[in-house]
């Protein structure tokens, strides 16, 4: 049997009609609902913020104001001359406060900002200790230059340098160590040649420092004389005056040979019962010199 196929035709009345209705009243209520949502969100954020603030304050009070963490010991380890009192002053440390009142990062930075400090480490040790470790620059000489207004062995208008040629000021207890150090006398220097905390930029002073470092390494601590002053005479020579008043003229280079000649001349003078007064070390042979008490030498 054949089935009769029928086709269903949708009537227009079955079709769905999608309308977007908009009116000022509907927009108003939608805005109100959105505003209410935003207010709720802001309220939640405020409550969370207050909670975080109060929680942080409670934690801070627990540590910063807790007598269990009172600062009982401030230890200082250094190879230089910054004192305990000076570190307290630099860091503005409240010795009656707790260890958490000390901002160790800030204290480290303040110490590192000082030209005489090479490295600084500050650590907080529970329950009541702050530990400060410093590596300082050890001064070896003063810089004196009238053109720049620098005076040797003067803590107010003088500057020091370490064995690497980095310059820094003489402050506090450093004067007790530096007051007898050698002085580099320079006839002239350009502005900026000696910037605090930086390596000097002065050729003749660099040669003087090289010579001083060599003399210090050869003499040792038991020598009966040291360098008192190195005066730059010109672009090719300088005079070394020792603490026993011997003037020795050196070239800017060839210091190993010249120092050896000086030590030989001193040894010869001592063995013959005389005292060396002056010597010109520039010649390699027939080196001129004089002894104290002879030919007006003093």
Distance between the two ends of the chain, CA-based, in angstroms?
151
ω into 127 cis (within 30 of 0): yes
Tell me which of 73 and 38 has the higher pLDDT. Answer: 73
Q: 53-57, 134-138, 182-186, 194-198 — which is least confidently predicted?
A: 53-57
Tell me which of 30 and 151 has the higher pLDDT. Answer: 151
Q: 20-24, 180-184, 207-211 — which is least confidently predicted?
A: 20-24
Whose CA is closest to 155, among 165, 164, 168? 168
pLDDT tens figures, 239-289: 999 999 999 999 999 999 999 999 999 999 999 999 999 999 999 999 999
For domain 139-291, give the fold: Rossmann fold (3.40.50)
Q: How confident is the model at residue 206 (pLDDT cuts 50, 70, 90)?
A: very high
| Average pLDDT of the residues in 23-41 | 72
To the question of pTM greater than 0.85 for the whole model, the response is no
Most confident of 98-102, 114-118, 171-175, 280-284: 280-284
Q: What is the C-alpha to C-alpha distance for residues 9 and 280, in angstroms, rounded to an integer? A: 127
| Average pLDDT of the residues in 8-24 | 52
Strands 183-185 and 167-169: unpaired
In the chain, CATH 3.40.50.11690 sits at: 139-291
Q: How confident is the model at residue 27 (pLDDT cuts 50, 70, 90)?
A: low
| Average pLDDT of the residues in 217-241 | 92
pLDDT at 40: 78
| Average pLDDT of the residues in 33-47 | 77
Handedness of CA 140, 145, 149, 153 (dihedral sign): positive
Q: How confident is the model at residue 220 (pLDDT cuts 50, 70, 90)?
A: confident
| Average pLDDT of the residues in 167-186 | 90
pLDDT at 106: 95
- Residues 56/59/65/68 CA torsion (nearest 10 deg): -170
| Average pLDDT of the residues in 221-232 | 90
| Average pLDDT of the residues in 36-40 | 78
In the chain, CATH 3.10.20.310 sits at: 69-136
Q: How confident is the model at residue 9 (pLDDT cuts 50, 70, 90)?
A: very low
pLDDT at 8: 53
| Average pLDDT of the residues in 135-144 | 94
> May I ask the CATH class of domain 69-136?
alpha beta
Q: What is the CA radius of gyration of the chain?
A: 40
Asked whether 269 and 276 are in contact (CB, 8 A), the reply is yes
Average pLDDT value for the chain: 86
Q: 68-72, 89-93, 164-168 — which is least confidently predicted?
A: 68-72
Tell me which of 2 and 145 has the higher pLDDT. Answer: 145
pLDDT at 2: 46
pLDDT at 279: 97
């Amino acid at each position: 049997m054949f089935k009769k196929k029928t086709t269903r035709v949708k009537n227009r009345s079955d079709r769905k009609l999608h309308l977007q209705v908009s009116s000022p009243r509907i927009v108003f209520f939608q805005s109100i609902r959105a505003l209410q949502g935003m207010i709720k969100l802001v309220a939640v954020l405020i409550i969370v913020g207050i909670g975080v603030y109060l929680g942080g304050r409670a934690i801070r009070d627990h540590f910063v104001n807790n007598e269990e963490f009172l600062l009982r010991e401030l230890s200082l380890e250094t190879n230089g001359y910054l004192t305990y009192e000076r570190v307290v002053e630099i860091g503005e440390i409240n010795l009656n406060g707790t260890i958490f009142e000390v901002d160790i990062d800030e204290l480290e930075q303040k110490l590192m900002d000082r030209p005489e400090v090479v490295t600084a480490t500050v650590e907080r040790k529970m329950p009541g200790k702050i530990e400060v470790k410093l590596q300082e620059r050890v001064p070896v000489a003063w810089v004196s230059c009238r053109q720049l207004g620098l005076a040797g062995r003067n803590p107010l208008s003088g500057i020091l340098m370490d064995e690497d040629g980095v310059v820094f000021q003489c402050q506090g207890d450093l004067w007790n160590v530096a007051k007898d150090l050698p002085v580099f006398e320079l006839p002239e220097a350009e502005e900026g040649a000696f910037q605090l905390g930086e390596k000097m930029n002065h050729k003749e002073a660099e040669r003087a420092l090289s010579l001083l470092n060599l003399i210090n390494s050869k003499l040792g601590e038991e020598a009966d004389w040291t360098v008192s002053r190195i005066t730059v005479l010109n672009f090719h020579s300088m005079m070394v005056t020792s603490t026993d008043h011997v003037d020795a003229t050196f070239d800017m280079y060839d210091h190993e040979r010249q120092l050896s000649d000086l030590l030989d001349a001193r040894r010869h003078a001592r063995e013959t019962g005389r005292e060396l007064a002056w010597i010109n070390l520039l010649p390699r042979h027939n080196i001129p010199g004089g002894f104290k008490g002879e030919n007006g030498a003093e």
